[in-house]
Amino acid sequence: MNEVLVKKVQDALDQMRPFLERDGGDVELVEITEDMVVQVKFLGACHSCDMSAMTLKAGIEEAVRRAVPEVLAVEAVNLIENKALAQD
């Protein structure tokens, strides 16, 4: 991964972190794909929160795309896993 790009994304995540931590959660950068999709992992309370999809789109993705306009999307790898488990 491009170190400058990673730093910019991490800085954007760091701006969101206090809001997530206030509710017992956190987020971790997993990968930035070649297609410029940022993949994150929700931690703590965010992992199981019903509002995590909204937090992802309205909070985290907005912050990351504002800081790094070349990013096309942000997705949570474990949010997809949680939805699949809930449907089983």
pLDDT in tens, 55-76: 888 899 999 999 999 999 999 9
Cα 87 to Cα 73: distance, rounded to the nearest angstrom: 24
pLDDT in tens, 7-66: 999 999 999 999 999 989 899 999 999 999 999 999 988 777 778 888 888 899 999 999
Instruction: Return the pLDDT at 84.
Output: 42
Query: Domain range for residue 74?
Result: 3-87
Q: What is the CATH number of the domain that holds 20?
A: 3.30.300.130
pLDDT band at 81 (very low <50, low <70, confident <90, very high): low
Q: What is the pTM of this model?
A: 0.83
Q: How many domains does the chain have?
A: 1
